[in-house]
Amino acid sequence: MLKLFNITLQTKIITLILTLIVFVISVLTGMFLYYEAKDTNEEMQKLAIQASRTLSLIPIMKDVSHEDVQSGSMQAITQQIGNQAGANYVLIEYKDGLNISYPSYEVGHSAFDPENYKAIVFGGYYTIETKNELGHILWGKAPIFAENNGQQIIGVASVGFLKNEIQQSMNHKLLKTLIIAIIVLIVGILGGVLLAKSIRNDIMGLEPHEIASLFRERNAILKSVKEGIIAIDNKGFITLLNNSAKQMLGISNESINKPIAEILPNTRMLRVLDSNMVESDDEMIINNRVLIVNRMPIIENGKTVGVVSSFRDKTEIKKMVDTLTEIKNYSEDLRAQTHEFTNKLYVLSGLLQLEQYEQAIAMIQQETNQLNFQNDILFNQIKDPKLQAILLGKIGKASEKKVSLEIDENSYLSELPIHISITDCIIIIGNLIDNAIDEVMQDEGIVTFFVTDIGNDIVFEVSDNGKGIPNDKISNLFEKGISSKAEKNRGYGLWNVKTVVDKLNGSIEVANGKNGGAIFSVFLPMKNQIDKEVD
């Protein structure tokens, strides 16, 4: 049973077209034959009456004698009338018993025969059917009036047509009609096959259930992906738009079937439509969002029929990168801290083996005092766990590089606001402290960290006792790729810091200390812009 319904689209189309053509041809042919038979019969009746009437009006028929009949002149006239009308029989019957027939036809009755009753008695013109050994005959009857007395009926003129010859004419017309119907049927089948192949090519050889399955899968994929996807046709009209694209671009389903140039005036999809070139990882600003865009032409049979573009918010990518950076920094800081404490344990082990107990105790006390002092500030005055974790890692890293990272004793901080994430802290504080350590590690320098949340802003300050920053580089220090150092692939840390600070609606200042070194001060509002609007 399932096989009966599991048929191809081409078979369905051909079957449907064939059924419709057969039905239409059958109906039209039946109607044609019905009306043709009816019209032919009516025409033959009219012809029979007209021929008999014409025959009855011939003057010689009104005054005929036995001599005329014997001379054959009357037979010639009836033969001529019969040939002109295409009749099979012509019969003239008079009341006096005189009969004239064509061809040889034995009548065997007089003009007063019941078949002639209407013509003899009432002078009517009519048709009637009779039967002989050759078949049914259609007769046309007309009264013959006397020449001297126009009201006197002297006989009846009859013209007959064999019904089987009429039927043969009908069969000939039917044959022509059937031939035309068969030709139309064959043309319809060929047209159906070509139409089915054309439709199959248009749908890439897929069956309807396969198209429906692909449609469902496509909708599911478009709804599940977080990337925005938008497609246009070869005329630049939007044909596809998923939910992520609508959210990122701030548009709705009403944008579909509209020119993309009207919806996104600065789009570059039209450029790809003309160039047929793939564009990858292009950075664009749309609706105040930084998007990473990929564009690819849709090519069919060697022609570009559209362009599809996928894009994602750079913020999400940045969060992913920052998370990886965070994990990497934690790993490096823990490794540095472990390495530093391992070195100190080796030193203590050596002192104890050499029985230098006083130096070992002094070293332990020195480390303990320094650790207690740092921990007292770190855990009692700085109460945000995120910042504590970052500073602990950086202290270990600085110690490994022979740099002293000191936390200013005047530092104080409650927990950071929710809108300042740990990723933001790592980027701001991590980059500033790392830059300061790199600046002074050759001279075993000092890096100082200060933080406070007294007032409306949170203030982070990182200073060092290095050489400072040349005045000509301070103005463009936060530009991408710009660095005070000569090494390659530098100049991205401070640019990242400035980006995060701007995102948090904060500010950053740079200055050189009086006794040398650089001072970086970051000011972040305690409340973000949304909180201010709510207040």
d(CA 338, CA 8): 71
Beta bridge partners of 294: 310
Tens digit of each residue's pLDDT (9 = 90 or more) over 287-306: 666 788 889 998 887 888 89
Tens digit of each residue's pLDDT (9 = 90 or more) over 203-237: 777 777 777 777 787 777 777 777 888 899 988 89
Phi/psi at 210 (nearest 5 deg)? -70, -40
Phi/psi at 338 (nearest 5 deg)? -65, -40
Q: According to the model, what pLDDT value does residue 70 have?
A: 55
Residue labelled with tokens 């061809």 = 103
Check whether 327 has a pLDDT greater than 70: no
> Minimum mean pLDDT among 251-265, 305-319, 461-475: which range?
305-319
- Mean pLDDT (the chain, rounded): 79
d(CA 105, CA 90): 9
- Quickly state the pLDDT bin for 318 (edges 50, 70, 90): low
Residues 514, 426 contacting (CB under 8 angstroms):
no
Residues 406, 464 contacting (CB under 8 angstroms):
no
Cα–Cα distances in angstroms (integers) from residue 523 to residues 223, 285, 412, 504, in the given order = 41, 27, 15, 10
Q: According to the model, what pLDDT value does residue 461 have?
A: 94
Tens digit of each residue's pLDDT (9 = 90 or more) over 136-152: 888 899 998 887 766 78
d(CA 303, CA 295): 16
Select the more confidently predicted residue: 462 or 262: 462
- Quickly state the pLDDT bin for 122 (edges 50, 70, 90): confident
Angle, CA of 97, 101 and 106, to the nearest 5°: 75
Secondary structure (3-state) at 468 = coil
Q: According to the model, what pLDDT value does residue 414 have?
A: 87
- Sign of the alpha-carbon dihedral angle for 318, 322, 328, 332: positive
Amino acid in the structure at residue 296 = M
Tens digit of each residue's pLDDT (9 = 90 or more) over 64-96: 666 666 556 677 777 787 788 788 888 888 887
DSSP 8-state secondary structure symbol assigned to residue 417 = P
- Quickly state the pLDDT bin for 460 (edges 50, 70, 90): very high
Residues 439, 445 contacting (CB under 8 angstroms):
yes
Q: According to the model, what pLDDT value does residue 521 have?
A: 94
Q: According to the model, what pLDDT value does residue 463 have?
A: 92
Phi/psi at 476 (nearest 5 deg)? -115, 25
pLDDT mean over 351-362: 77
Select the more confidently predicted residue: 73 or 106: 73
Instruction: Pick the closest to residue 207 from 493, 11, 433 (CA basis).
Output: 11
d(CA 341, CA 330): 16
- Quickly state the pLDDT bin for 524 (edges 50, 70, 90): very high
What the chain holds in terms of domains, given with CATH numbers, is: 9-170 (3.30.450.20), 208-313 (3.30.450.20), 356-534 (3.30.565.10)
Encode 235-271 in three state secondary structure: CCEEEEECHHHHHHHCCCHHHCCCEHHHHCCCCCHHH
- Pairing label, strands 457-464, 518-525: antiparallel
Check whether 2 has a pLDDT greater than 60: no
Q: According to the model, what pLDDT value does residue 489 have?
A: 43
pTM above the 0.85 mark?
A: no
